[in-house]
Structure 1
Amino acid sequence: MDEVIKTFHIDWKLLIAQLVNFGIVLFVLWKFAIKPLAKVMEKRSQDVEKSLKDAKKIEENLAKSEKERENKIGQARKEAQEIIEKANQQGELQSKQIVDEAKNEVQNMIATAKDQITQEKQQMLKEAKSDLGYLVTEATKKILEKTGKKEVDEKIVAESLRPFVK
């Protein structure tokens, strides 16, 4: 071993000094570089993990929100369909009511017209009877003037025409 030390020119003092220097450099590097860097790396790893977890939660919330949105859209469509159906039913009901009211109004008009026609018919018959009675009376007077007693004949004609001249 002495030969190796002489061959490589190893100085023990220098070797020990280099070992001490190496230890000091190692300590300083550990204290001021490796340890803070390890903390930063650990914090960075935790931040990445937290970000991944948050991203997963956000993704789940997004999926949940999407489902809720779809449910609300479906519900809104259903409500809109119900409103449309209700409006259609109300429209049909109103149209039926309008048709029924129109029918009733037409029937009332027809009934009123029939009553008016009946009254006019009765009035015309009454006038016709009166005119007919007058004509018959006049014709009978003329015939009776030619035949004889005027007073007796007028009484007979008046009694005969009494039912017609009301």
Structure 2
Amino acid sequence: MLQLNWSLVFEIINLIILCLLLKKFLIKPVTAVMDKRQAEISEGLLNARNSEAEANELKGRYEDALKNARSESGRMIEEAKKRAREESDRILKEAGDQAADIMRKAEKNIESEKEKTMADLQSRIAELALTAARKVAGSAERESDDKLLYDQFLNNAAMDAVMKPEGNSESR
């Protein structure tokens, strides 16, 4: 049979008290620390997930901004090229207009010089004709002098005709 011994009862009571004391002073604080640590770890993981989500969102925004910047820079380059072509065309047109103006002025100057030269030649021919006429009228010396003057007049007139361009028939 089982004998109940007072020392066994005290040991059981001591063991129960020890368990209660351990539970109150050791297990509860350790459990609380472990629960607190578990909560911190869970919170840290949640924060890490949130940070990762924010980082992915920022990365997406950054990539979108980078794409927009690239497309914007491409558009700006195309626009600059277009403006450069327009400026080049404008400069070339202005240069062509200036060249045409210079050519018109040069043609006018040439025409004016030509008219001046023609007038000068006409006056020289007239002088030669008058001189020849005076010599012929003033001297009845020799027929050979007349013939010489006549040949000289014809040579001068021929030289003037050679210098005068074709298609320009002006009256003398």
Provide the TM-score with structure 2 as the length reference. 0.78
Residue 27 of structure 2: aligned partner: 34
Residue 118 of structure 2: aligned partner: 125
Choose from 86, 91, 95 the match for 1:98: 91
Q: CA-to-partner distance for each residue in 1:136-166, whole Å, 9 max, x for gaps?
A: 111112222246xxxxxxxxxxxxxxx84xx
1:113 Cα deviation from its structure 2 partner:
0.5
Residue 101 of structure 2: aligned partner: 108
Q: Point out the structure with max Rg over C-alpha.
A: 1
Taking CA–CA contacts closer than 8 Å with sequence separation of 6 or more, which of the two structures ends up with the larger relative contact order? 2
Alignment of 1:10-21 (within 5 A): 11-21=4-14
Q: CA-to-partner distance for each residue in 1:121-145, whole Å, 9 max, x for gaps?
A: 0100110111011111111122222
Q: CA-to-partner distance for each residue in 1:57-111, whole Å, 9 max, x for gaps?
A: 1111111011001000001001100110111011111111111111111111101
Amino acid at match of 1:23: I
Residue 150 of structure 1: aligned partner: none
Structure 2 residue runs of 5 or longer lacking an equivalent are 141-170
Alignment of 1:125-164 (within 5 A): 125-146=118-139, 164=172
1:112 Cα deviation from its structure 2 partner:
0.9
Cα distance between partner residues in 2 of 1:49 and 1:79: 44
1:15 Cα deviation from its structure 2 partner:
1.2
Q: Does residue 23 of structure 1 match 2:10?
A: no
Count of residues paired in the alignment: 142
Runs of 4+, deviation exceeding 6 Å = none
Structure 1 residue runs of 5 or longer lacking an equivalent are 148-162
Amino acid at match of 2:116: Q
